[in-house]
Structure 1
Amino acid sequence: MKNHPQFPLVIALILAACDSTPSTGGQGGHGGHGGQGGSGPDVPSPHASGGGNSDGGGGNGDTSPPPGTLSERYPDDVGIAGDPGVLFHDDFEQGWGRWDGPAADTRTLRIEADEATAHAGQGYLRSSVTTADLAEETYISSSTWVTHERADAIYWRFHVRFPELAPNPHHWVRMAAGAEGWDASGLANTVPPGDEGFWFDFDTNTDDVFNFYVYWYKMRSGRCNDGTATPGCAGDQGTTYHYGNGFQPPGQAPFPRDRWFCVEMHARANTVGQSDGALAFWIDGVPIGDYRPGHPDGTWLRDQFHAGGCDFSACTPPAPFGGFDFRSSGDVRFKKFALDAYYERDSDARRRAEMEERGMTVSDARTILYDDVVVATERVGCRR
């Protein structure tokens, strides 16, 4: 599904950059799914519901839905699929059929029924990629995806469980926006046209913390310290490349292994001509990442935004984040969501070696369980 012929070059570039920019994890070349977005109504920041600090902290296990969310109105998600604000829902109780693909179990992805394992009910989705699988294939995309009604501002909610200690995916969950018919597949190391589309991934690294990995038409290059691609610039890496720009909130607690936890995300496309787009995420109802006009203070260095600033010699003083100018056309609107555990053989081996150097006993199966997925135009909240 994704092809990464430039990956060795990417690794060399990343290693060359390590002396001045910290890794945010999971940052190699990678293709895209299709997508869409638009200028939606102003929405509250994550701080408006849920408590906690967007600059750190992890899930606290309390998944009580905050006031005014869909989960509060539909306890235990009963009837939630019928709400006019819900664009997609799957609790995996009815088998395949709600996603655009796949339509049946695959080698790495299957729907199972086990009340003792599921987050709620009996059904859940299992993604499992083994060391043997990666010995046969360099790239594996264990993915299910859906194209939904296009919208300018979107909320996503799903529950997830990592039952084994194993390397996390090279890239993980994908949200995409685009004009009708536009597909970003295979466009790694490409700046997407502002009137066609943009996309971002929600990734996790070896430290079990999360980051956004974003492609848009005003994204920064990793070549120069100032994010440009001008030969001879300060910090010149010698090669122009445009892989996803990284946003990793500092101070995160690692996500819990072998228990269900709740992931919520929000994205708002910008008003055309303005930089008022936003990204945010919550873990177990606690706000962790919150990127919007004027928040947080931070420092850009090459293709990474460091909330709170950074300590390298090339770092400039922190300044308020300027927001996202994701698109140049109102026809670019959110339209696609994918649970995509994407593994690349070499990066997986490096992650495994790093874990073993820390004294961890690493499983040969990279398993992720999913349940209770909702895509909506208002905040969903966690299912109790």
Structure 2
Amino acid sequence: MTYQNYQFKILAFKLLNLSLSSVAVFLSASAIRAQTDIWSTTEEVPIATQLLPLKGTNFSVIKSHSPESDNIDWLHGIALVRHMDQFFASFGCNEGRENTATEIAKYSTSNDGGLTWTNPQLIDAGDAPNLAISHGVFLEHAGKLWAFHGAFYNRLENVHTRAYRFSDQTQDWENMGIVIGKGFWPMQEPQLMADGNWIMAGLQVIDGLGKPNNPAAVAISHGDDWLHWDLHTLPKAEELQLWGESSVIVEGNQILNVSRWKQPWALVSTSDDFGKSWSQLKPSNLPLAASKPYCGTLSTHQKYIIGSIYAGNENRRAPLTIAVTRPDSGIFERVFVIRDAVWPGPGESNPQTSLAYPYAIEHEGNLYVAFSNNGGRGANRNSAELAVIPVSALVVTNQDKQTLAQSSNSGIANAYPGDVGIEDDPRVILVENFEHGSIDNLREQWDTVRDPEVMSFSSQVPAGSSGKQSLLMTQRAELGSGGDLYRVLGDGYEKLYARMYVKFAEDCEPIHHFGTCLGGNFPATPWPKVRAGEPTAGDKAFWVGIEPYGNKWQWDYYAYWCDMRGSPPRGQTWGNSFIHDSSLAVPKGKWTCIELMVKMNEVGRSNGEMALWIDGRTVSHLGEGFPRGKWTFDKFLPGQSGEGVRWNQALGDREYFTTAENGDPFEGFRFRTHDQLKTNFLWLYTYITRGTRGHANMVWYDDVVVASEYIGPLRSVD
């Protein structure tokens, strides 16, 4: 099937008569009036929690961020190629800031399929004052290896492309000089077209850094002559502001260009004459964070686009995903998640990390995807990382929606719209939807219900719920501090997930303590048995709560266990916290889905774990060796480094220490010292100690589920 035979037909995209509210904020009404359709009109673009998982993907680190040892602070734009039975990876790097004259181009090689890489070696450092050589692309053809790198003077002045030829004999790169001028910077490996010429996609830096007019562009070769290229700028509306890093998909004489811009949608343009003329760039109906995309065609004849692609993306460069078509189609139908910001595998993990600037090549049944990971540091102070994906894992079938519903990434709830029937799933341990006739009926389902007089049922329920009522706790200072629900979970579990929906009234005063709380007592007790201000006994107890943290109204953990950290002036141990992300503001007057995971450690090890999801998005995952950060008394600060401080109980005083440049690996959790202690209770409560007399502080709870696997948000019954 050719492009003439299917809906995507590059010659003339079907324009939808839909206004673009996301575009209208930035463009005048006359600029762009329609979307271009490259995502299926019969399939919804998935949200982040509905992304398909990829099976069999392996990860490795090409170049870690370690400026203290190699003087490379900024790194970006990894490129990949296979040549002479080894992989090459190139990148731009800098001891200073991005887009400054000290940028140089380096490369590493791998002889074991990308598992390990050599120390970086030089491609070019520039042979003139204030000349920067930055990141580029590779081309391997007829046994010869070429590289094409963006270069500039000073701060992105006189941008151009330089060519380099690799010598297999000397293992050096020969500088072939400037081959494309007028601001062109390549972003994708040259693609062979049916007319015998090659097309290399990128952008044209016209206005320069921070300016609006830097459009997508392509360079077209003269056959296999790599030293002569013709530059073609893609047309755009005058009002359209973009830094047009772009990539192309080639089929015959017809070409699709996919470009980034300021808004989280892919810009597209088409050509039917081998890239010589182009339609005007227009937003598509495919979400894409404002970062360089990478496109191509697999050996299965599936088209792909790599970037951060999911519904509701507000220019967040994570998770890293890949959208694919069916074979010989041009309409994208599925999105798989390659890697999320927080995860336990090789590479950096941080809730604020950006996974960006992908580059992909296929080799022997695998798609090798290189990408930048800033570890939450910002300013493209990246490590270079690699994902190796079996091409067979990207096949689109009619059954993969069923696979999604059953996958741990999508969650148990995805298979039970409105949570109807979820209590019958063998992985589910407890369900509480508060559909009771009275508070007395509710009390029969829990081991402890403290202050039931503050509890009532409300008709307010979360979107997607099949229920008709929720539980409302109303705290009044003159009557007490709030209320509790506490339930023993049998003999206990090695790993548990607890999900609930919560809403705080818009005038709710600061919360002192709050739960969803998972924990363990040995022996089990039918009431909350916790002691504040001191560590727990490793063979007797631990507990982990999720709290809005008082005046901060910011989600974080509140954890007690035997190895918890203390604070001045006496080394007292209040609940330890681990996120400290100001973007995790607790919304008032709105339902929020909270999910907590606790995994017990093996006795004698500190390999216990905790994870937190807010509205289906992973915001934290901590375990042995991840993430990196530093301690400041009882607070672990992910992604931070430098001087840390802890309380030394033996000395009875504070103790200072220095962390690595990108933080020290988190030590993990030793929740227990004896395997008799397991996670065996759920505790929901509201505790307000500084409420105003006469004021009602209202907190709603609903759709509580405890299970042995990830649950995920409610799936709408519609």
Q: Give the alignment's TM-score, normalised by structure 1.
A: 0.70
- Equivalent pair of 1:160/1:260 in contact (CA under 8 Å): yes
What is the CA–CA distance in structure 2 between the aligned matches of 1:118 and 1:75, rounded to whole Å? 8
Instruction: Show CA shifts across 1:96-122 (max 9, x none).
Output: 13222329x823222334679995421
Shift of 1:191: 1.8
- Equivalent pair of 2:538/2:561 in contact (CA under 8 Å): yes
What is the CA–CA distance in structure 1 between the aligned matches of 2:708 and 2:463, rounded to whole Å? 29
Residues 184 and 145 (structure 1), Cα distance of their counterparts in 2 relative to 1, 3 Å cut: closer
Matched, 1:306 2:637: yes
- The residue aligned with 1:284 is 615
- The residue aligned with 2:351 is 55
Shift of 1:292: 1.1
Residues 90 and 116 (structure 1), Cα distance of their counterparts in 2 relative to 1, 3 Å cut: closer
Alignment of 1:131-150 (within 5 A): 134-135=477-478, 137=480, 140-149=481-490, 150=492
Residues 198 and 49 (structure 1), Cα distance of their counterparts in 2 relative to 1, 3 Å cut: farther
Matched, 1:83 2:425: yes
Instruction: Show CA shifts across 1:110-165 (max 9, x none).
Output: 233467999542121001113xxx2454xx14111211121010001111112323
- Equivalent pair of 2:641/2:664 in contact (CA under 8 Å): no
What is the CA–CA distance in structure 1 between the aligned matches of 2:445 and 2:682, rounded to whole Å? 12
Matched, 1:293 2:589: no
- Equivalent pair of 1:159/1:263 in contact (CA under 8 Å): yes
* Greater CA drift, 280-289 or 200-209: 200-209
Which of 323, 326, 333 matches 2:668? 323
Instruction: Show CA shifts across 1:328-364 (max 9, x none).
Output: 011101111111111123xx57xx9xxxxxxxxxx93
SS at match of 1:102: strand
Matched, 1:199 2:495: no
Residues 170 and 321 (structure 1), Cα distance of their counterparts in 2 relative to 1, 3 Å cut: same
Instruction: Show CA shifts across 1:35-65 (max 9, x none).
Output: xxxxxxxxxxx988995665249xxxxxx97
Residues 157 and 242 (structure 1), Cα distance of their counterparts in 2 relative to 1, 3 Å cut: same
Residues 56 and 160 (structure 1), Cα distance of their counterparts in 2 relative to 1, 3 Å cut: farther
Residues 184 and 81 (structure 1), Cα distance of their counterparts in 2 relative to 1, 3 Å cut: closer
Matched, 1:190 2:534: yes
Superposed CA RMSD in Å reads 3.1
Residues 319 and 108 (structure 1), Cα distance of their counterparts in 2 relative to 1, 3 Å cut: same
Residues 310 and 168 (structure 1), Cα distance of their counterparts in 2 relative to 1, 3 Å cut: farther
Residues 325 and 203 (structure 1), Cα distance of their counterparts in 2 relative to 1, 3 Å cut: same
Which of 454, 457, 474 matches 1:111? 457
**AA matched with 1:98:** Q
> 1 or 2, which has the higher strand percentage?
2
Greater length-normalized contact order (CA 8 Å, ≥ 6 residues apart):
1
- Equivalent pair of 2:420/2:466 in contact (CA under 8 Å): no
Matched, 1:383 2:714: yes
What is the CA–CA distance in structure 2 between the aligned matches of 1:307 and 1:255, rounded to whole Å? 20
**AA matched with 1:278:** E
> 1 or 2, which has the higher helix percentage?
1
Gaps of at least 5 residues in structure 1 are 1-45, 58-63, 224-236, 353-362
- The residue aligned with 1:252 is 583
Aligned residues: 299
Matched, 1:123 2:123: no
Q: Give the alignment's TM-score, normalised by structure 2.
A: 0.39
**AA matched with 2:702:** D
**AA matched with 1:155:** Y
SS at match of 1:107: helix
Matched, 1:219 2:561: no
- The residue aligned with 1:165 is 507
What is the CA–CA distance in structure 1 between the aligned matches of 2:474 and 2:463, rounded to whole Å? 15
Residues 76 and 49 (structure 1), Cα distance of their counterparts in 2 relative to 1, 3 Å cut: farther
What is the CA–CA distance in structure 1 between the aligned matches of 2:351 and 2:687, rounded to whole Å? 27
What is the CA–CA distance in structure 2 between the aligned matches of 1:55 and 1:251, rounded to whole Å? 11
**AA matched with 1:216:** W
- Equivalent pair of 2:419/2:466 in contact (CA under 8 Å): no
- Equivalent pair of 1:198/1:217 in contact (CA under 8 Å): yes
Residues 101 and 117 (structure 1), Cα distance of their counterparts in 2 relative to 1, 3 Å cut: farther
Gaps of at least 5 residues in structure 2 are 1-317, 320-336, 343-349, 354-403, 646-656
Shift of 1:251: 4.3
**AA matched with 2:519:** A
Shift of 1:376: 0.7
Instruction: Show CA shifts across 1:150-202 (max 9, x none).
Output: 10100011111123232232110122112233576251122211111111221
- Equivalent pair of 1:86/1:375 in contact (CA under 8 Å): yes
What is the CA–CA distance in structure 1 between the aligned matches of 2:482 and 2:664, rounded to whole Å? 38
What is the CA–CA distance in structure 2 between the aligned matches of 1:313 and 1:327, rounded to whole Å? 26
